[in-house]
Amino acid sequence: MIPRERAPYSAIVDRPPLKLPGGARLVVWTIVNLEFWDIARPMARQVLPAPTGQVLLPDVPNWSWHEYGMRVGVWRFFDLFRRLQIRPTLSINARVCDDYERVARAAHEAEWEFMGHAYEQGPMHLIEDQRAMIERSVQVIERFTGSKPVGWLGPGLTQTYDTPELLAAAGIKYIGDWVYDDEPTEIQTANGPLVTLPYTVELNDIPMMLVQHHESEYFTRRCIDTFDRLYLEGKERAKIMAIAI
């Protein structure tokens, strides 16, 4: 199905207002992405462009940049969320559970919610057998945590026309790839509906810092501005604000 067949256009002002428990105006949804990058393939992101202007393999500096995050940076996240008493959603490549077991174990012990994020990082369009990859990812996470994941975020938010059917068949209940609303919506698949949660490309460190090259303080400023606006609108209808790192 094409997107319009899954979810007809719906203006937010024409719907009944979203209501939250206790009259809350806003949900702040925090997502941490942990990924496996294969040094034998082009890196998912580049902090240092190739000096020749074309990708060369192995891409040691950009692979190392990601590896630094898994060795060092992620532990700052654990400290931050522990101090703030926040348990984020963990968008995780299932292979992280094996190759970075120490990190995945710390997230599980901190009671972060594991959300499927493919087996390893790479666009869904290049996966020869999506069904097998999705099932493998779900099984690895379930084996590691003891619970079957019900959420999914595509690597790089990628999907093909068939992906929603395959996710629903694997028991996934919600996805974050459709960044088209401030409220949860429902899309149709041949295997039952999926809920779309409002993930973000605006409050997301990769596009904001790596693509748009903003100074670090701008991330905080944009988050505060977005919060203020959505909290104001939340007086009439509740909103969801995602922050992705």
CATH number at residue 195: 3.20.20.370
Q: Is the pLDDT of residue 12 over 90?
A: yes
Cα(51)–Cα(121) distance, rounded to whole angstroms?
A: 24
- Report the amino acid identity of residue 25: R
Q: Is 90 helix (H, G, I), strand (E, B) or coil?
A: strand
Tell me: pLDDT of 119 over 90. yes
User: What is the strand order of the sheet 26-34 is part of?
Assistant: 185-187, 194-196, 174-175, 151-152, 113-116, 89-92, 26-34, 239-244
Q: What is residue 44's predicted lDDT score, i.e. its pLDDT?
A: 83
At 52 the pLDDT is 80
pLDDT at residue 55, rounded to an integer: 83
Answer yes or no: is 3 within a domain: no
Higher model confidence: residue 189 or residue 46?
189
Q: Is residue 197 part of a domain?
A: yes
Q: Is residue 1 part of a domain?
A: no
Do the domain assignments include residue 5?
no
CB 196 within 8 A of CB 185: yes
pLDDT reported for residue 54: 84
Tell me the average pLDDT across 152-167: 98
Encode pLDDT of 192-225 as tens digits.
999 999 999 999 999 999 999 999 999 999 999 9
Q: What is the pLDDT at residue 1? A: 86
pLDDT of residue 155: 98
- 6: in domain: no
**The domain containing residue 82 runs over which residues?**
26-244
Number of domains in the chain: 1
- Report which DSSP code applies to 239: E
Amino acid 81: pLDDT = 99
Hey, CA dihedral for 182, 228, 113, 72, is it positive or negative? positive
> At residue 166, does pLDDT exceed 90?
yes
How confident is the model at residue 219, as a pLDDT?
97
Considering the domain boundaries, does residue 8 fall inside one? no
Among 7, 38, 48, 29, smallest CA distance to 155 is for: 38
Average pLDDT (85-98) is 99
| Residue 40: exposure state from Cβ atoms within 10 A (0-12, 13-18, ≥19) | exposed
- For the segment 81-99, the average pLDDT, to the nearest whole number, is 99
Cα–Cα distance, 225 to 208 (Å, whole number): 15
| Residue 131 is assigned to a structural domain of this protein | yes
What's residue 49's pLDDT?
87
Return the number of other C-beta atoms located less than 10 Å from residue 133's C-beta: 18
Mean pLDDT of 6-26: 97
Domain annotation covers residue 2: no
Entry pTM: 0.96
Q: What are phi and psi of 167, to 5 degrees?
A: -65, -45
**154: number of Cβ within 10 Å:** 21
Arithmetic mean of pLDDT, 173-181: 98
The average confidence (pLDDT) of the chain is: 97
Tell me which residue has tokens 């990601």: 66
Residue 7 CB partners (closer than 8 Å, separation 6+): 178, 185, 186, 187, 188, 196
SS3 content of the chain, % helix, strand, coil (to 5): 40, 15, 45
Which stretches of the chain are DSSP H helices?
A: 3-6, 60-68, 74-84, 96-99, 101-109, 130-145, 163-169, 205, 216-233
